Structure 1
Amino acid sequence: MNATDTLDFPLLSEEELLNLTVGVYQLKFAKSYTTEHKNDDGDYNIMVNNDIPDVLRVRIQSRHISSKQYFLWIEHSLGAITGWYCQCLAGARVVGVCVHVASVLWYLGHERHTHSARSTKDWPQYLEDASVIPEVMDSSESDQSGTEE
């Protein structure tokens, strides 16, 4: 299931996200983590159990060990986040969420509604091919064509 199918996930303001993360550190990394975890279509893969619809499961890549992946779970109900757990070392903390959970919360609860993230995948469309050399205009040609007497 992709994130657009998770329509009942609560909309989260930046203030609510700050309350869940208990600071800005996780949110700074959440945006880049989200960009890394979207597929080419811009979807974030989310797993939902039909028997427990208010609990999401996400597989996410470690920032530090390329071969390591973690599962995280987020419980939501009645427009609020009611619980979370991540298998990473910081995931079981009592106060605040880890960067992995913050990434999913930021994407599902905020970014997908505001479309505020910009992917680095979009940058090539604004670049020009350096191997193409524009035709140089002789200054005498521009003087002749630009002035009429």
Structure 2
Amino acid sequence: MTERSGTIEIHVDADACPVKDEVYRVAERHRVKVFVVANGFLMVPRSPLIERVSVGSGFDAADDWIAERARPGTIVVTADIPLAHRCVKAGADVIGPTGKPFTEASVGMALATRNLMEDLRAMGAVSGGPKPFSAKDRSAFLSALDVAVNRLKRAGFGGASP
């Protein structure tokens, strides 16, 4: 488990994550442990820093695994707003795949907006989903993840043991 002055961990909500390769690159550069959490099997690079966690097919099983381990020193990568909310409350840094950080100040509004849009879609008032993922989003994510790792290092958290 990660504690203040412990190691930095990155937990990836991986089933639909478009930035896994970027996470692996940042993790290798900073020597940070990554947990790639998914409901099914996913290929991950062979590295002592990268661990695949298959949680089975239970509803929200991946979210629960991540949320139970979220704490200061943990960076969570997810587009799932309810999961982001749970992890922010636990003290983790949370970053969406587009590089948007979820904070105490932003996650409540994001959750309310998500719920409103879900209701509007259910009534047929709104259709469609998010805009397509772009190269600009990928670049913003890389920058946000690098900033988060460096901020945690300055706060006294370290990388993985050699």
TM-score after normalising by structure 2: 0.27
Q: Which one has a larger percent strand, Structure 1 or Structure 2? A: 1
Q: Which one has a larger percent helix, Structure 1 or Structure 2? A: 2
* Higher CA-based Rg: 1
